Structure 1
Amino acid sequence: MIRFNRAIKPFSVMSFDLDDTLYNNHPIIKAAVKAQQDYLNALPSYLAQGPKYWQQCRNEAVLQLPELADNVTKWRQHTLRLALSKLDLNEEEVEHHADAAYNAFADARSKIVVTDDVLKLLDNLAQHFTLVAITNGNVEIERFNLHNKFSLVLQAGMHGKAKPHSTLFDKAAEHLNVAKSEILHIGDSLDTDVQGANNAGCQSVWLNDQDANYAYKGLADIEIANIHALTHFIK
């Protein structure tokens, strides 16, 4: 299915969200969170704080430093140090366990295998368009099989404010020396991907294959139900 809500202008760049757009991120993030929690729960003093302790510390961390909301990696790392600093641990132990717990998360987070058909789709699209990735997530793309598929990878926090803020789209246009209207951004979220692209003056494709509720009521330029509908643009 491909539905055009607005006429598409010529574009030279295809920008992709990563998580839940090019692969199913739900089992990956679930495994990563479990790996971190398994490490932390092996510490008796952490386990004694109860199952709500992590979320309490996460909320406290972003109240202390609101800018963490735009950088999920630093938010997690800061929360780990905050949570561990409240326990009966010295400074060296806090740093050791915070690093080890984060590494447990990051290792599991990067166990992604993008399917061959999606890789082939990207290769075909790359013969006609410049491909970039714009993500709010903390996946380390160099650690799995998307590492060589994009001319540019921009991540929230590291390179600017999270979508739907326009910063990452602005940086992509500046880096590639193109007008933002020449960027067609594809993503699964109305709230971050479509709203962000629309607000930035890019064109937008909503991959509508998630069972989710969104606050944003604007329309994507194009709606698709399967990522392979993008072959429509291969001439």
Structure 2
Amino acid sequence: LLLETMRKQGLQKEALGLEATEDQRQRCLARPGMTEGKLDFLLSQQMSPAERAAYADFVVDSSPRGLGLAASLSVARAKVADIVQRLLDRHGGPWPIASIRESHPGTAIECVTFDLDDTLFPTKASLGKALVAFRAAVARLAPKLWEHCGQGATFGEAMQDAFRAVARENSRLRHDFSQLRRLALERLLARVDEVNSEEIIEQALNAFLSARGDVEQHLFEDVLPTLKELKQRGLRIGSVTNGNAELSLHAPRLSELLDFQISSANAGAPKPRAAPFLASAAAAGTWPCQVLHVGDSLADDVLGAKRMGMKAVHLRRGTVKDDAQATSAAPDASIASLSELPALLTSWNE
């Protein structure tokens, strides 16, 4: 309606969302009082999707196109995140940051966000347990596939090959490991014509995600005491991860200390891109310059947060994660343990 009534009057950029025609019809016909005839008349008075797309600067098409609903929504999130990134790159960052800092030079930290893997718990333990659970579920639920792949390690190699293949073919899903795992298993099951493949996929993925999120026995010793102290100070606490550890159901002591959890899958892009960091500030109800992000990666955590105007603390638990991007990542502080964080925040917020 905006495109049809206002066109480009006063708008700098326009993004258009499109959905499959049949999905649109089903959604509209579900409205009270709507009929096939009335819907056809209304559609005849509107621009066609192609005409609307011609007026828009960006088009977000959420049509499934053979991917299934969950994957198509993930692709749509990636397209939105890409629009945000392109606009930020073009205009040099979120516009409010400079003006807020000029008018409030002593802006206090109101929210602290944490990376998960190798920051709050070791990736190897969590991911290793998840892979064991996934393979056990496939062996139990899909015996034809298990035998076809030669069992054990051979199945693992087949999954890795399928995972890499679907990632190459679906570049818009590279931020969403769960959807890529789903598509990879779907591809393997199709080779052996396994019955009830959808049920197998759901149960196998649930087994993987349950084990992936069951991290409390693996938490580093400084995690819970530090988060509890920050919580007692009235700070909002969140997580921002590129992984797919779902904590809400499987890590109750940790998740109850988190006000929100942002993943690359629900943000539409991985760190160090803008979307997950902006999503965390929005979830906290603060400006980015009021957020402190803590993580073990100079490139993903420090560089990504600093680009958004956040403060960033580099956590050095072991080998420093580094790459070419990290050369421009200068953290506001570097610590060896999360137990150092409360004193650091006190010095900044005084």
Identify whether the pair has TM-score above 0.5, normalized to the shorter chain: yes
How far apart are the structure 2 equivalents of 1:168 and 1:111?
A: 23
Q: Is the 8 A contact 1:16 1:186 kept in 2?
A: yes
Q: Is the 8 A contact 2:210 2:246 kept in 1?
A: no
Percent identity reads 25
Correspondent of 1:136 among 225, 233, 242: 242
Correspondent of 2:200 among 93, 97, 103: 97
Q: Is the 8 A contact 1:46 1:87 kept in 2?
A: no
Partner of 1:150: 258
Correspondent of 2:279 among 163, 171, 175: 171
Q: Is the 8 A contact 1:22 1:227 kept in 2?
A: no
Partner of 1:13: 111
Shift of 1:102: 1.5
How far apart are the structure 1 equivalents of 2:125 and 2:261?
A: 23
Which amino acid is 1:133 matched to?
A: S
Partner of 1:3: none
Deviations 1:160-196 (A, max 9, x none): 3111111121122234332211111001112211121
Structure 1: 5+ residue runs without aligned partners?
1-7
Structure 2: 5+ residue runs without aligned partners?
1-105
Aligned length: 226
Deviations 1:5-48 (A, max 9, x none): xxx96322111112221122321211111222234355201336
Partner of 2:231: 126
Shift of 1:213: 4.2
Aligned CA RMSD, in angstroms, stands at 2.3
Distance verdict in 2 for CA 1:202–1:36, change over 3 Å: same
Partner of 1:45: 148
Partner of 2:312: 204
Shift of 1:122: 0.8
Shift of 1:140: 1.4
Distance verdict in 2 for CA 1:202–1:77, change over 3 Å: same
Q: Is the 8 A contact 1:40 1:46 kept in 2?
A: no
Partner of 2:292: 184
Which amino acid is 1:224 matched to?
A: I
The residue matched to 1:141 in structure 2 has which SS?
Answer: coil
Q: Is the 8 A contact 1:45 1:88 kept in 2?
A: no
Partner of 2:69: none
How far apart are the structure 2 equivalents of 1:156 and 1:62?
A: 15
The residue matched to 1:22 in structure 2 has which SS?
Answer: coil
Q: TM-score, normalised by structure 2?
A: 0.59
The residue matched to 1:158 in structure 2 has which SS?
Answer: helix
Partner of 2:127: 29
How far apart are the structure 2 equivalents of 1:190 and 1:107?
A: 29
Which amino acid is 2:210 matched to?
A: D
Larger Rg over CA atoms: 2
Distance verdict in 2 for CA 1:177–1:138, change over 3 Å: same
Of stretches 32-41 and 193-202 in structure 1, the one that deviates more from structure 2 is 32-41
Q: Which has the higher helix share?
A: 2
Q: TM-score, normalised by structure 1?
A: 0.86
Partner of 1:220: 331
Partner of 1:106: 209
Deviations 1:130-157 (A, max 9, x none): 2121111211111212121122221111
Which amino acid is 2:121 matched to?
A: Y
